[in-house]
Amino acid sequence: MAALEILGLAKSYPTGFWRKTLRPALSPLQLTVHEGETFGFLGPNGAGKTTTLKLLMGIIFPTSGSARILGRDFRDPDVKREVGFLPEQPYFYDYLSAPELLDYYARLSGVPEEERRKRIPELLERVGLADAGNKQLRKFSKGMLQRVGLAQAIIHNPRLIFFDEPMSGLDPIGRREVRELIQGLKDEGKTIFLTTHILSDAESLCDRVAIIHNGELRGIGVVEDLTSKSADKTEVAWRGAQALPAVSNLLAEEHVTGDIVRAVVASEQIDALLEKLRQQRAHVISVTPILGTLEDYFVAQTSGQKEVTV
């Protein structure tokens, strides 16, 4: 079952003195996230990631289109019993302590009192805030606030969780902790929708990613598929430097260490190179395709022409 189906959701804002000109913030977006999947929604700042989340959470209203969350219309407030949300750089009621804040959010999500009493200390322990006690949130560091944010997003044990830039502004240790927490939720089988512009996080956590730029979807697919798309070069290593003059016209670059040659060759030239190396009686040590990173794909999609891969 699809946990999230975005069906042409679009948002435009009126601009100008008479507010007659419409500035599109999100072009009609078509997207499906499967249950149990960790989905990365990537894009540079101002691409439309947060707009999409605000639309899904009912904070702003779409100009057109619709969405279904866990099989129900996204405007149905009751569907949010099973949805968790961590906004970007969240701010919470700073006059509350962490247990008070979690209790408040749990009440709003309809968690019974008995379960609240059990779940709040457990969750505080899980996010590493068991020692925070009754300290007010105004005395919390940024990292601690982010952990409270994560706790409030899952206090009601939701099936689908939206994280908006969960690692932004955190130090490396904080980022690692948040990543581990999200990994833990993934292992529990939760569906996770994650927006980020930190590609290494998306690469390590997400099953599939979509790339959005200027409010338009530029690409979508399994991380490995997207990164292998840019594997158009191969590294070949062989023993026998005497073969080099015969093959040098095929190589993009080469490094010679003693009798060992490491060369980079265009993938379509690989057969020709191996054939010549055999003729020259060189001993091939390794043939390794040079895989692109998600960053390569991201840069290609956000700087080049529109190209959607499903």
Partner 1 sequence: MIARLSAISFNTFREAVRDRVLYNLVFFALLLVAAAPLFGEISIGLEKLILVNVGLSAISIFGIIIAIFIGIGLVSKEIEKKTLYTILSRPVRRWEFIAGKYLGLIMTLVVNAAFMTAGFYLALLVASRGLGKDDAGLLVAIYFIILEFFIVTAITLLFSSFSSPILAAVFAFALFAIGSFAEDLRNFAALATGATKWLATGAAYLVPNFSALNVISQVAHSQSISGRLILLNTVYALLYSLTATIGAILIFERRNLK
Q: Which is nearer to partner 1, 191 or 234 (CB)?
A: 191
CB 202 within 8 A of CB 294: yes
**Residues 190/196/199/200 CA torsion (nearest 10 deg):** -50
Are the CB atoms for 166 and 86 separated by under 8 Å?
A: yes
**Interface with partner 1 by CB under 8 A: which residues?**
54, 57-61, 77-81, 83-85, 87, 90-93, 95-96, 104-105, 107-110, 152, 156, 162
Residue among 80 and 186 whose Cβ is closer to partner 1: 80
Q: Which is nearer to partner 1, 46 or 289 (CB)?
A: 46
Tell me how far, at minimum, the Cβ of 41 lies from partner 1, in Å: 16
Lookup: tokens for 186? 């993934």
Rounded least distance, CB 174 to partner 1, Å: 20
Q: Under 8 Å CB-to-CB from 34, ≥6 apart: which residues?
A: 1, 2, 3, 191
Question: Nearest distance from residue 207's CB to partner 1, in Å?
Answer: 23
- Of 161 and 211, the one with the shorter C-beta distance to partner 1 is 161
Distance, in Å, from the CA atom of 232 to the CA atom of 265, rounded to the nearest integer, reads 9
- Nearer to partner 1 by Cβ, of 110 and 121: the residue is 110
* Least distance to partner 1, CB of residue 95, Å: 4
